[in-house]
Structure 1
Amino acid sequence: MMGKHTILEGYVSVRAALKANSRDLHTIFIRHDKWDKGVAWLERTATDAGIPVQRVDADVIDGHAGGKTHGGIVALAGPRRFVTLDEIGTATAAPFVAMIDGVEDPFNFGQAVRALYAAGCDGLVLRPRNWLSAASVVTRASAGASEWMPTAIAETVLDAAQYFRTRGLAVACAAKDRAVSIYDADLTAPLFLVIGGEKRGITRSFVEQADLRLAIPYGGDFDQSLGTAAATAVLAFEVLRQRM
């Protein structure tokens, strides 16, 4: 983050924010010698939308960016726009909504969102947090999916679960005890999937009240949990597989 702006780095991140209209873009900086079809589209689309585009030297780009993977493009952006819980999952009879809670590392968070979006998740729920300072990492790690994904805020996991239950979604989470294999569970019905972080996970009290406790079978003798991003991908793509 720089001042009151967050920095989006790289063509994929900036393009996603521009096309999804997920946040205001105040200025886009492009290295003066960078020319290709994608850049031409970016310049044209941003200009048509009234967003200033500046051609600058590489050191200006580097001065704004937090890393070296920007590819010569950065944008000064505003905060992420969120939708309401009522707006998530309304376009389908069997919505698949996910909530990520307790994931502190922005790269892991971005990777998890990337998997959910690729698997067709209809919307994401988060607890209140200032993700502005981590938006650059999250957007790059998610390959722009964090900008495309309809995202809402709920005060607590329990609040979100209670809300989606009233809409007929089954509340599911990963668990070790009294859990059913994801390959035996019916994941085709309306589903609200809660994903916990690697350190804090999901509270035992929440697991106990979940409608569906899911287990990911392992192919070998391994007594540790998968990382959040990997577990999210396995769970999300099993939902997709069953619904195809």
Structure 2
Amino acid sequence: MTFLSNILIEKEKEVKILKEQYQQQNYRNIKQEKSMYQTFMESSTMNIIAEIKRASPSKGEINVEVNPVEQAEQYATYGANAISVLTDTPFFKGSIEDLRVVRNTVDLPILCKDFIIEEIQINRAKDYGANVVLLIAAALPKQRLKELFDYAYSIDLEVLLEVHNETELMIALEIGAKIIGINNRDLKTFTVDLSVTQELAKLVNRNDILLIGESGIRNREDVEKMMEAGVRGVLVGETLMRSENLKETLKDLKIEFK
């Protein structure tokens, strides 16, 4: 069993309960003047998706006691361009409630980071204030990915479609993804290698695709590698969650495009 397969087994159980119990909420959902895609494509500096991440299967506890309101306020104050909220509970110690309180705190685009396998999860993400949802190519067959991708856009959510290899990248492009996250972490083994983004980005020769580098980005040097690869945004979790000076850490990562 891989990390990903274990997570998906638990997610199926969670979704079954969600289908039985979830009722539509009426939480505030901010309509962005500009989408995350537009904002990132027009930016003159590297875009940072700052993540609220309490724990992970590979690292264990990172910052379980984090106050998501305070963390989100600092992210927004110190220059994050979007906020990712991990809402998975069993493996990442997050919750959908984290997303709700972050939405009520900041006006930045919010990514609901979870293992989405059903439309009801997308509905809930929108209800709680997400602007963007994550779909993971490794988690679903192509046809199911396409169905969920189209559904998200039909209810005015953007999709960050995550890939890890050339096959998944080609699927993302065929589906019509405009925001493609290249995950340097292999979700089957959880090993991290920044060259994954560097190599896969070479295969994308379209100027209308927004590439996001994910996982293993710790410092300015890593961001420079991502920029040289053609990435316009990076998703940073653990580095920010462990930082003792968020202002300086974010300043270090927000380098200008050359």
TM-score, structure 2 normalization: 0.35
Computing the radius of gyration over CA atoms, which structure comes out larger, 1 or 2? 1
TM-score, structure 1 normalization: 0.37
Q: Larger helix proportion, structure 1 or 2?
A: 2
